[in-house]
Amino acid sequence: MKTNFIFVCGGVMSGIGKGVTVASTARILKDYGFRVTAVKIDPYLNVDAGTMNPTEHGEVFVTDDGMECDQDIGNYERFLGENILRDNYMTSGLVYKSVIDQERNLKYGGKCVQVIPDITNEVERRLWNVARKTDADFVLVEIGGTVGEYENLIFLETARIMKLRSYGQVIFMLVSYFPIPKMIGEMKTKPTQHAVRAMNSAGIQPDFIIARSSRPLDSIRKQKVSIFCNVAVQDVISAPDIDGSVYEIPVNFEKDNLGRRILEKTGLKSRTRKSKQWDKLIGNIRASKEPVKIGIVGKYFGSGDFTLADSYISVIEAIKHAAWSIKRKPEITWLESEQYEKNPQSVRELKNFHGIIVPGGFGKRGVEGKINAIKYVRENNIPFLGLCYGLQLSVVEFARNICKMAGAHTAEVDQKTPEPVICTMPDQLVNIKEKRMGGSMRLGAYKCKLAKHSLARKLYGKDIISERHRHRYEVNNQYRGGLEKKGLLIAGVNPQRGLVEVIELPKNKFFVATQFHPELTSRPLNPHPLFRGLLKAAAGK
């Protein structure tokens, strides 16, 4: 069978849910019995997403094979319920770098190396590589940014050339925004008409328009979009804002027959009776009414006057998956760690929550606030899950307050600490010294052996697990004995390198922290055992 490529571009403005649109379309096609995968292309020059500040670009998602990529890969994994590998992510930086590296190795045999066709060929090569490796019937390709921008033109150009060559079937989808300005009170289609013109000038005609708006498109608007944008009226798909969760989006798209229309265009027939699993999930979500309150103590929330949740999206989704699985409605609150630094008494507000999470993080800002928060939840037996930096700072808190090592710290924040309970591995010292910071952390999936009587062992139901990492610092094994003597349980260790992966405080109701990131592998149809553990403890189950 030929591979079908579906290219998805954004119109009018960013942030309207292109990633979730791709993920939802992928889910629909998977439920029709096809093998589906999704690729994200980011037009910026960073070689990967690892060097970007999360408040600017959202969470850095990590794949099993250690690629630091855009958070949309997380959406694809959550909707598809499958792991996605590094081949499925590329940036302009990565593509240019590989072409330039090849040029330096004389791979172009003396030719002049040019943007077209050498860059477009490299993008196309990467897309076919994904098709081959995943053996997918459908490869969805999300082109970052908005049509009309300079930065993503080269990727539209690649898509146009792929359609022209037509080794596979190529479909274009435009996810566009339809504003309803307050003073007019009517949904406007003109910005989308302009977006389609911009696509047309790149030689591309969309096959589908996904109409993002606060309300569904009425038939008058659908007709108008159809005529002006040159798209069949049944291929204008309503995508209104939803009250519920993003997981309802595939269901909404199907109300407008998106899946069936894609199959018609590709000449395919559904391979199975549509699975009911997803509908069951939606039913579960809707039935979850009794609230469970979870606080996230972090620092990547603010952007000017606005609060962004994107920096912790996998953590948030993992909380939701686990809450729904026990029929509870998750109520998530952002708690600014700096506030617990400026006003240490204010940590008392944590008693208003059923559970607290200290997620991953970097650097000095807000660290003492997080440590204050951890002290408070430990002393007050509030269910707690620490993730990566959350584990490291739990160890610092325990060392300072239980082991009476007042000066204990992580070497990341205080290089001269007398008690570096968290320190770097020797290989990382070289990276730091030589400023080799991009893609050089301990990244991707590593094994962990869980201790026999640990809570983690009980929750996972097995001895050996594999989880994804993204960190440069580790628990300093020189302090292990001292910490253990005072009641800290080393609940999981990497068998190859002896690195601490999980800690627990068995005296507490639920106090678990991990060096890895369990949030990255939680799926709506398969919630993560540690998040389920936290949520169950929080819900008093």
Residues catalogued as catalytic: 388, 517, 519
The answer to whether the beta carbons of residues 293 and 352 sit under 8 Å apart is: yes
Q: Are strands 511-514 and 500-504 parallel, antiparallel or unpaired?
A: antiparallel
The answer to whether the beta carbons of residues 293 and 354 sit under 8 Å apart is: yes
Closer to ligand GLN at the Cβ: 188 or 365? 365
Radius of gyration of the chain (CA): 25
The answer to whether the beta carbons of residues 288 and 328 sit under 8 Å apart is: yes
Q: What share of the chain is helix, strand, coil (3-state, %, to 5)?
A: 40, 25, 35
Residue 407 tokens, joined: 């000066």
User: CB under 6 A: which stretch of 150-158, 182-190, 457-465, 469-477 binds ligand GLN?
Assistant: 469-477
User: CB under 6 A: which stretch of 178-186, 244-252, 372-380, 465-473 binds ligand GLN?
Assistant: 465-473
CA 528 vs. chain centroid, Å, equals 15
Closer to ligand GLN at the Cβ: 174 or 388? 388
427 Cβ contact partners less than 8 Å away, ≥ 6 residues apart: none
Question: 460 — phi, psi (to 5°)?
Answer: -75, -30
- Cβ 295 to ligand GLN shortest distance, Å: 18
User: CB under 6 A: which stretch of 29-37, 180-188, 230-238, 358-366 binds ligand GLN?
Assistant: 358-366
Closer to ligand GLN at the Cβ: 191 or 439? 439
Closer to ligand GLN at the Cβ: 64 or 103? 64
State whether residue 365 is helix, strand or coil.
coil
DSSP label of 59: P
State whether residue 415 is helix, strand or coil.
coil
Among 40, 221, 468, 470, binds ligand GLN (CB under 6 A): 470
Residue 221 tokens, joined: 């608007």
Closer to ligand GLN at the Cβ: 409 or 470? 470
CA 224 vs. chain centroid, Å, equals 36
The answer to whether the beta carbons of residues 140 and 6 sit under 8 Å apart is: yes
What is the spatial order of strands in the sheet that 473-475 belongs to? 408-410, 419-424, 473-475
Q: Are strands 489-493 and 442-450 parallel, antiparallel or unpaired?
A: antiparallel
Angstrom distance (rounded) from CA 357 to CA 518? 12
Q: How many residues does the chain have?
A: 541
Binding residues among 196-235 for ligand GLN as defined by CB under 6 A: none
Angstrom distance (rounded) from CA 435 to CA 174? 41
Angstrom distance (rounded) from CA 380 to CA 374? 10
Closer to ligand GLN at the Cβ: 412 or 501? 412
Among 473, 479, 510, 516, binds ligand GLN (CB under 6 A): 473
DSSP label of 230: T
- Cβ 74 to ligand GLN shortest distance, Å: 15
> Dihedral sign, CA of 251, 252, 255, 260?
negative
In this structure, the number of other CB atoms found within 10 A of the CB of residue 426 comes to 7
Angstrom distance (rounded) from CA 171 to CA 191? 22
Closer to ligand GLN at the Cβ: 368 or 412? 412
User: CB under 6 A: which stretch of 33-41, 303-311, 348-356, 471-479 binds ligand GLN?
Assistant: 471-479
Closest residue to ligand GLN: CB criterion: 360
Among 74, 179, 330, 361, binds ligand GLN (CB under 6 A): 361
- Cβ 363 to ligand GLN shortest distance, Å: 7
Among 412, 419, 467, 519, binds ligand GLN (CB under 6 A): 412
Binding residues among 362-391 for ligand GLN as defined by CB under 6 A: 362, 388-389
Among 27, 224, 468, 472, binds ligand GLN (CB under 6 A): 472
Closer to ligand GLN at the Cβ: 169 or 431? 431
- Cβ 3 to ligand GLN shortest distance, Å: 35
Closer to ligand GLN at the Cβ: 134 or 428? 428
- Cβ 526 to ligand GLN shortest distance, Å: 23
Among 400, 471, 528, 532, binds ligand GLN (CB under 6 A): 471
- Cβ 403 to ligand GLN shortest distance, Å: 21
Site string for ligand GLN, 28-67 (x = CB under 6 A): ----------------------------------------
User: CB under 6 A: which stretch of 12-20, 263-271, 308-316, 360-368 binds ligand GLN?
Assistant: 360-368
- Cβ 113 to ligand GLN shortest distance, Å: 37
Angstrom distance (rounded) from CA 192 to CA 170? 21
With CB under 6 A as the rule, give the number of residues binding ligand GLN: 11
Where along the sequence are the contacts to ligand GLN (CB under 6 A)? 360-362, 388-389, 392, 412, 470-473
